[in-house]
Every structure is written in structure tokens, then in C-alpha cells.
Chains A and B, each alone.
Chain A
Amino acid sequence: MDKPKSSAELAERIAQWRTHLLARGAIEPSDADELEDHLRNQVAALSSAGLTAEEAFLVAVKRIGQQEEMTREFARVHSDRLWKQLVASPVPDGGASMEARTEAWVVVGLAVIAALSLKVPELFGQRLDPDAEGGGSFYSRNLSFFVLPCLVAYFAWKRRLDRVTCAWLAATFVAAGVIVNAFPFSPQGSTELIAALHLPIALWLPVGIAYAGGRWSDPAERMNFVRFSGELAIYYVLIALGGGVLTGLTVGLFSFIGVDAEWFATEWMLQCGAVGAFIVGAALVELKKSVVENMAPVLTRVFAPMLAVLLVALLGTMAWTGNALALEREVLIAFNLLLMLVLGLLLYALSARDSLARPNWFDGVLLVLVLCALALNTVLLAAMSARIVEYGSSANKLAALGENLILVSNLVGSAWIYTQFLRGRQSFAALERWQTAYLPVYSVWAGIVVVVFPPLFGFA
């Protein structure tokens, strides 16, 4: 006779179980629907085998397993969700807080090492200030080596990288260091500048490999690295703003008591801070993935439509007035920057998107943006084709042209897959795969520019 009562009770207990499941973040309502369906099936089967509703519910819940374990598994599959949900305050038990303290020491230690290593060459007469006598060139070539090894070391420690990977990463850095310092660059030459500019891009790949902790082949892990890079940039800018204020205050306040602190502020605070902030920023991004996480996608949402309108207007104006692009020296570099911006917007829009969601208007905006950028770039390359033949003559132009081609091929591929996706013939995951598979190309090209270009152009 108590059947209605127990079924109402059962419904309530299932609802409760569901609420607990959802409270953990990594599981979304549609997943909960799926799990609830499973639970109800199980309860029904057990009930028909003779158990009471109460017993059936308990057994079914037990069989479906511990919620913590399940959430962890869901979080691993949907690591993008985890990224948004890892809110700043995980409940630390004894072991976790101990680990957090060790991590804090490691981070501070590495930041200090990075900052001080910047100062060591000054003992041997190198100067950071390019205007100073004998200054600039050593530091511009080696800037990557003050920051990136510490960053890699941090991830190697954090991800417990195996020795083989560590050895490879170390070997890469040593090889890069030997190459850029052994090359007999002519002073003030353009190949040295090009090498200095491309080296960080080339070495960003080993950073990514360390970040991925041995799972670099996994597209999801690469996407996480893209997210990480974007957030690190945002954190770095924020820290730099704070550091600038602090430096200004230091100089100002000491001047009030008649002490000149400017040498300390510029030589030590600014320089060491700029290097150390990199490591600290990276650790913060790791620690509190979610706090500023939403920034890169928000910026993308704001600027992608605006840039799309700008490009359409530019194309329209060019068609209307018949004005051609002026083929000045900077135009290729400017277009590379434009393509990079478009690609960045695309990448961060992708990184924040639910990969199972249907196409919406924003996807259309992105596609328009990509197509406009490609159209403009085609106009540029067509106009330049006559002069492309002479490009072999200069390292600068060849490097810029190579970058242009790399960016264009990525965007052509993206536009193609995006069109297919909007027409429902491709899944969104294909676009993600394309972008993540493409990531090493940038670094490899930058590596080629660093290693091959200087000898090719006689270190001029």
C-alpha cells in the first residue's frame, strides 16, 4: 500500500543525488540526465528482481560508483570544463596544502634564479641597455634563455616529466644557446635581429612540450597550452602594470626623502621584475586557471566582430575607390600582424567554444573575418608578385614572406573546415584538430629562420 509514498521518496532521493552530482562542476545537466537515466534503469531492474525501492536505490547508487571518482573522470574527458571550473579555492587537505607550499617555494626560487641570471652577464661586461657601450646585442640574442629554461623547469617539476624528455628539452636549449652565440653575426646586422626575434617563438614549442607533460600529441593538451599561453599574456600584462606602478612609487617616494633610487628601480626592479613575472605569471595561471580565464574569449567576442567590420569596410573602400595597396616596405609585416591577429582571435574563440554546440552567428562572423583577411592578403600578394622574385635578396623579406605563407595556409585550411562545419559536413572537433596539429609549424619555421637564415645570408 505504501507504493506511492516510496516512489515519491525515490524521486526525491534521485533528485538529491543529481543535485550533488551537478554541484561538482565537471558534470553538466545533460550528463546528469544520462546518468539519471542509468540510475532509473538500474533501480527498475533491481525492483523487478524483488528489492524494495529503498534497497534498489542504494544498490544502484553503489554500483554507479563514487561521485568524486566519476567527476574526476568526467573532468579528465572534458578538460576544457575543468579549466573553467577549477575555482580558486580547492578544499585543501593536509597533503594538498603541503604540496601548495612546496610549489610556492619552487616558483619563487625559479623566479629569483631567472631574475638573477639576467644580471650575471653584466658581471662580464655585457650591457642590457642597447644604447650603452657594447650593449644590447648579447642580451637581445639571449633573452629567451633567462626566462624559458626556468619556465620549462617549473613544468618539468610540476608534471614530473620523465628523464628522457627532460634530457631532450635541455639539449634543445643548449643547442639553441650554442648556435645563436657561436654564429659570427655582423654588428647591427639584420640576420641577428631576425634570429633574436624568432628564437622565442621557436623555443615556445619545448615549453609547450613541457607544459603538456609528455602528452603533447593529445590535441586537448595542446589546446590547453594555447589557453595557457593566452592567459599568461594577460597575467603578464596585469603584473607588468602593477610592477610599473610599484617602480614609479619607489622612485617617487625615495625622492621625497632626498635619495635617488632610480638606478635601483630601473636596473633591478624593472629588469628582474620583467623576467621573474614571467615565471610567477605562469604559476598563477596554473594555480587559478579560472579567475581570468574568461578574459581571452571575452576580448575575442568583442574584437572579432569589430575587426570583421573593419576589414569589410577596407575591402569595400578599395573596390569603390580603386585605390591599390601601397607597396611599401612595411606592408608585408603589417599584413603578417593582421593575419596573426585574425588567427589569434580564431584560436581563442575556438579554445572557449563548447565543441559539441551547433554553429551560431559568431561562427559566421569568424568565417567572414578569416575570408576578408585572406582576400586582402591575396590582393597584397598579387600586387607584390612582380617583386617577389627579388625577395631572395634579403633575409628580412624572405622571413616575412615565409610567415605570410604559413599564416595563409593555416587560415585557408581553417576557412575550408569552418565552411564545411557551418554546412554541417564537418564537426567542430576537426577544426580544433587542424589548429592544434598546426601549432608546431610556427615554431619549426622560427627555428629554421634562426638556424638556417644567418649562414644563408652571410650573417649580414
Chain B
Amino acid sequence: MNIGKDLVAASATPLVLAILAEDESYGYAILKRVAELSDGRLQWTDGMLYPVLHRLERLEYIAGHWQTPARGRRRKYYRITNRGRAALALQREHWQEVDATLRRVWPLAAEAKS
């Protein structure tokens, strides 16, 4: 199943915030987590995650910091901020509202058809 681009884009913010609410993480790991959570059904173009992360960083929903391991390349980790948690709660409400409305309308649409 290929979920449409707009829906993927819309769900990116709550998804990223929720994943970061679990624990701090970095881009590649976030994508792996998304794949894991959606059983690979939510396909992102990998590169598109980073603009989303930067936008959230600008909004101060998440904070990024670089970590350089003793051996190896530096990597940018993100963790959620308090503003981010508040935004996540709000997003969650909105999505639940959308979901609830859709749930109410599905049976109606099915009836109308038959």
C-alpha cells in the first residue's frame, strides 16, 4: 500500500515528535523506527526527513546537538523539548479528532453505496 504524499507529509510532525518523545535519536535511527512501527508501509524518501527535523528545530519543538564518538564521524542527535511535548499533545488531539470523524463517516459512506 502506498500512502499518498500529502498524508505522509502531514503525519511526519507527530510521528517524529512521538519517536523523539521516547528517547533522543538521530535521523537514520528515526527512519528505521518509522519503518519498524509501520511495518514498512509508510515509505518516506529518506532525505525528506531532514528538512522536517530542521523545521521542528527552528520551532524549538526539538533540540539538536552534535556528538562525536571517540572514533568516527560526528552525528546530530535530536531530543524533544517542552514546547515539542506540548505540540505533540496538541497534534495528538487533532489527529484523534480526524480519526474519530472518519470512523463515524466510514459506515455512512458504505451504506450510501449499497
Q: A34-B76, A37-B73, A74-B51 are in contact. Are A63 and B60 (CB under 8 A)?
A: no
A41 within 8 A of B: yes
A36 to chain B, nearest CB (A): 8
Chain A interface size range: 20 to 34
Contact of B48 among A31, A36, A37, A73 (CB under 8 A): A73
Q: Which of B27, B51, B57, B59 contacts A37 (CB 8 A)?
A: B27
Is the pair A69, B28 in contact by a Cβ cutoff of 8 Å?
Answer: no
CA distance A209 to B46 in the complex (A): 35
Given contacts A63-B45, A429-B60, A34 and B73 within 8 Å (CB-CB) = no
Residues in B whose Cβ lies below 8 Å from that of A34: 27, 50, 75-76
Q: Is the CB of A427 within 8 A of B51?
A: no
- Greatest chain A CB density within 10 A among B50, B54, B60 is at B50
Query: Is B45 within 8 A of A64, CB to CB?
Result: yes
| Interface membership of chain A positions 36-58, coded 1 if the CB is closer than 8 angstroms to chain B and 0 otherwise | 11101110000000000000000
List the A side residues contacting B94 at CB < 8 Å. none
CB-CB nearest in chain A for B63: A427
Closest residue of B by beta carbon distance from A220: B58
Whether the Cβ atoms of B74 and A42 lie closer than 8 Å is no
CA distance A40 to B60 in the complex (A): 28
Cα of A63 to Cα of B75 in the assembled complex, Å:
19
A376 CB, min distance to chain B CBs, angstroms: 34
Closest to A33 in B: B74
> Which residue of B28, B47, B73 contacts A65 across the interface (Cβ within 8 Å)?
B47
* Pairwise interchain contact B58-A77, C-beta atoms closer than 8 A: yes
A31 touches B50 (CB 8 A): yes
CB distance from A352 to the nearest CB of B (A): 16
Residues of chain A with a CB closer than 8 A to B47's CB: 35, 64-66, 69-70, 73
| Binary contact track A79-100/B, C-beta < 8 Å → 1, others 0 | 0000000000000000000000
B51 to A: closest C-beta gap in Å: 4
* Contacting residue for B28 out of A31, A38, A429, CB 8 A: A38
Cα A31 to Cα B57 with chains together (Å): 13
Pair A38/B51 contact, Cβ less than 8 Å: no
In the complex, what residue of chain B is closest to A430 when comparing beta carbons?
B60
**A42–B28 contact, CB under 8 A?**
yes
Pick the most buried of B54, B59, B73: most chain A CB atoms within 10 A of its CB: B54
Distance in Å: Cβ of A24 to nearest Cβ of chain B: 12
Asked whether any CB of chain A lies closer than 8 Å to the CB of B55, the reply is: yes
Within the complex, the shortest CB–CB distance from A73 to chain B, in Å, comes to: 4
Q: Evaluate whether A65 and B75 lie within 8 angstroms (CB atoms) in the complex, with A38-B27, A77-B55, A427-B60 already known.
A: no
A42 and B73 contacting across the interface, CB-CB below 8 Å: no
Tell me the minimal C-beta distance from A273 to chain B in angstroms: 41
Tell me which residues across on chain B come within 8 A of A65, comparing CB atoms.
45-48
Partner of A41 from B28, B45, B57, B74 at Cβ < 8 Å: B28
Contact A355 B58 (CB under 8 A): yes
The answer to whether residues A37 and B28 also contact, given A63-B45, A65-B46, A76-B51 and a CB cut-off of 8 A, is yes
A20 in contact (CB, < 8 A): no
- Bound together, the chains give a CA A76 to CA B55 distance in angstroms of 9
Does A159 lie at the interface of the complex (its beta carbon under 8 Å from any beta carbon of B)?
no
Residues of B within 8 A of A358 (CB): none
> Considering the chains assembled together, what is the distance between the CA atoms of A31 and B54 in angstroms?
9
Docked Cα-Cα span, A70 to B52, in Å, equals 11
Residues from chain A with Cβ under 8 Å of B45 in the complex: 63-66, 69
Q: Mark A332-371, 1 if CB is under 8 A from B, else 0.
A: 0000000000000000000000011000000000000000
Q: Determine whether the beta carbon of B50 is less than 8 Å from that of A35.
A: yes
Give Cα distance in the complex from A220 to B76, angstroms. Answer: 24
Q: Which residues of B contact A429 (CB under 8 A)?
A: 58-60
- Inter-chain contacts of B28 with A (CB < 8 A): 37-38, 41-42
12 contacts between A and B (CB under 8 A): A33-B76, A37-B27, A38-B27, A41-B28, A42-B28, A65-B47, A69-B47, A70-B48, A73-B47, A74-B51, A76-B51, A77-B55
Chain A residues with CB under 8 Å of chain B are 30-31, 33-38, 40-42, 63-66, 69-70, 73-74, 76-78, 220, 355-356, 427, 429
Among all A-B residue pairs, the 5 with the closest Cβ atoms? A73-B51, A65-B47, A65-B45, A41-B28, A70-B47
- 14 additional A-B pairs beyond A63-B46, A70-B47, beta carbons within 8 Å, are A34-B75, A37-B73, A37-B74, A37-B76, A38-B27, A40-B73, A41-B28, A65-B47, A66-B45, A73-B47, A74-B51, A77-B55, A77-B58, A355-B58
